[in-house]
Amino acid sequence: MNIWYPSYLYCVRTDDLIQNLIKRSEEARKRAYCPYSKFAVGAAIYCDDGSIVTGCNVECIVLGLTNCAERTAVFKAVSEGKTKFSMIAVAAVNEDKIVSPCGQCRQMLAEFNPRIPIYLYNPTTNMVGYGTLEYFLPHSFNPENVRLDGP
């Protein structure tokens, strides 16, 4: 599998771990609950303890209550006591394009790893994009750069 994203990166070869993470994101995508948009997304987070936690988008008739795959995976991981993430893969079909995380998901990922590598997979084209969260969300509002202990 080659990883490619024409606007900002180059083609690289994936290793077994990344291929497995991408495969798990695609498996999660198949479990998405998206009766309104029909836009299924899956995510797989590789945690520092070596585990992989998956999530899919879950829609609601009140669309504002819909939860994205990336945030579902983060919430699931945190609920299992995992808060250190090394990389994430996101799978979605959008014609011949790859899909990157929405703004809310980018911000949620920044909470836990503002430099997390992100692999974006389109199973229809077998295209994989790559970038770090710093590329998708530069100068993020995250615990590393926000002073929380007062003036």
Assess whether 70 carries a catalytic annotation.
yes
Strands 2-3 and 52-56: unpaired
Q: Percent helix, strand and coil across the chain, each rounded to 5?
A: 30, 25, 45
* C-alpha to C-alpha distance for 109 and 133, rounded to whole angstroms: 8
| Phi and psi based region of residue 38 (left: phi greater than 0; alpha: psi -120 to 50; beta: remaining) | left
Phi, psi of 32 (to 5 degrees): -60, 145
Q: What is the largest CA-CA distance in the chain?
A: 52
Question: Which of 26, 27, 59, 70 does the annotation list as catalytic?
Answer: 70
CB 53 within 8 A of CB 82: yes
Hey, which residues are catalytic here? 70
